[in-house]
């Protein structure tokens, strides 16, 4: 897909305060004078040896370790080979303790775009990422890796937490329009000159910051880049009239991919949705779209007491609508019962390879009918915050 630069917008005027301006970005890097630090040689060596352990045909490990040591001594960092990069990205997914969908970690498509560092180039590549991952509805797990941080030279960052996210703002009357979770990002986009609409499912622009001292550039995603599914219910015709929809590709864009001490701050990645992420959280949570009262009213449920379980009944029907709609449109989506079974298969497979499967129970257990799934009734290997490769929260 060709990214349309006609849709590019200039950065904010100098007089407009922006949370992602140099003044706001500086504290995040204050602990690292001059920018990111040198790569830890021990972390680099551990990763290289892990790569060679899992891929014995990769060549002489000691020779590669010597190369990496020499490059770090000379430059403060080192460059992963394409094979190391792909392996590291896939293992970062394998190590993601909060993800239930890790069975397919080794199928992750890794796009090596480390040479792309301009805001225009990153925005265009992100649009291409969405098209590749969307795949006409047959969602593919994809990760796009942009330039890494180097000693004293922070790489570009994507401001958005997801490549696609619906805007959200509170009206003067106090009513929320759109997704409250996106309020801060929406405010940043408006300060940069983006025009917000009074519409609950308006896709935010993509914002890219090339340097800590640079204001973000913002870009409307091209027509066709965002695949959305209109929600309807298999038994209740009125549901379509609610005008609900959701995007098909959940691409996280605010995590740092850390491999062997090298940090990639712009590395958007996606899998596919599990239905409950949309139906039981995004659309149902009281601090998100808060649709349970509306759905319950349309269903004619008795809301006079919590003991009628009206929330539970509305929640089930909302999730039925999400799963039905994605299936009818031919868009990949997992249900929480099937995905739970797959996760246990993943654990068994990892055990056969002699590897632990760290997992955060509070994230693995689905938010709907948790005790009816097999992932509820067991313990998991403890989460190790130091485990690498990994996707880690971005600090600045």
Distance CA 95, CA 89 (A): 10
Q: Which residue has the tokens 């485990």?
A: 387
Catalytic residues: 99, 102, 272, 277
Distance CA 33, CA 205 (A): 32
Instruction: Assess contact for 196 and 211: CB atoms under 8 A.
Output: no
**Is the bond preceding residue 37 a cis peptide, omega within 30 degrees?**
no
Distance CA 221, CA 227 (A): 11
Cβ neighbours of residue 292 closer than 8 Å, sequence gap 6 or more? 284, 310, 311, 314, 315, 318
Distance CA 343, CA 357 (A): 10
Q: Which residue has the tokens 């709609």?
A: 325
Distance CA 93, CA 56 (A): 21
Instruction: Assess contact for 217 and 158: CB atoms under 8 A.
Output: no
Distance CA 305, CA 311 (A): 10
Here the tokens at position 386 are 């130091």
Here the tokens at position 164 are 């696609």
Instruction: Assess contact for 151 and 174: CB atoms under 8 A.
Output: no
Residue 340: exposed, middle, or buried by beta-carbon count in 10 A (0-12, 13-18, 19+)? buried
Distances (CA, A) of 352 to 57, 98, 187, 389: 21, 21, 49, 21
Distance CA 123, CA 256 (A): 17
Instruction: Tell which residue, 22, 29, 382, has the closest CA to residue 213.
Output: 22
Q: Which residue has the tokens 């993601």?
A: 96
Output the CA angle 134-243-313, nearest 5 degrees. Answer: 95
């Amino acid at each position: 897909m060709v990214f349309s630069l006609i849709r590019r917008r200039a950065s904010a005027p100098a007089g407009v305060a922006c949370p992602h301006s140099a003044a706001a970005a500086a504290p995040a890097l204050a602990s690292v004078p001059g920018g990111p630090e040198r790569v830890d040689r021990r972390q680099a060596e551990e990763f290289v040896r892990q790569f060679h352990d899992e891929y014995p045909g990769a060549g002489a490990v000691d020779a590669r370790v010597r190369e990496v040591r020499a490059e770090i001594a000379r430059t403060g960092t080192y460059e992963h080979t394409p094979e190391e990069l792909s392996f590291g990205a896939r293992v970062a997914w394998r190590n993601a303790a909060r993800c239930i969908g890790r069975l397919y970690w080794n199928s992750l498509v890794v796009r090596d775009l480390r040479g792309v560092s301009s805001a225009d180039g990153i925005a265009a590549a992100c649009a291409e990422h969405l098209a590749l991952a969307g795949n006409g509805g047959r969602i593919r797990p994809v990760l796009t890796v942009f330039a890494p941080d180097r000693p004293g030279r922070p790489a570009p960052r994507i401001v958005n937490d997801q490549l696609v996210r619906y805007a959200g703002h509170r009206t003067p009357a106090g009513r929320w329009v759109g997704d409250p979770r996106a309020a801060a990002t929406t405010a940043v986009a408006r300060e940069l000159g983006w025009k917000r609409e009074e519409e609950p499912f308006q896709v935010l622009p993509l914002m890219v910051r090339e340097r800590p001292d640079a204001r973000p550039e913002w870009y409307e995603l091209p027509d066709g880049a965002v695949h959305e599914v209109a929600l309807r219910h298999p038994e209740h015709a009125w549901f379509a009239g609610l005008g609900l929809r959701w995007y098909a590709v959940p691409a996280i864009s605010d995590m740092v991919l850390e491999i062997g001490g090298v940090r990639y701050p712009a590395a958007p990645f996606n899998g596919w949705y599990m239905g409950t992420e949309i139906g039981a959280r995004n659309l149902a949570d009281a601090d998100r779209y808060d649709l349970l009262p509306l759905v319950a009213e349309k269903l004619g449920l008795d809301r006079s007491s919590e003991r009628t379980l009206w929330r539970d009944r509305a929640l089930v029907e909302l999730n039925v609508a999400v799963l039905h709609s994605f299936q009818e449109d031919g868009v990949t989506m997992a249900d929480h019962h099937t995905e739970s079974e797959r996760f246990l298969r993943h654990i068994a497979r990892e055990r056969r390879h002699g590897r632990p499967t760290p997992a955060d129970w509070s994230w693995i257990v689905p938010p709907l009918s948790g005790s009816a799934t097999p992932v509820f009734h067991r313990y998991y290997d403890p989460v190790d915050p130091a485990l690498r490769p990994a996707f880690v929260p971005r600090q600045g």
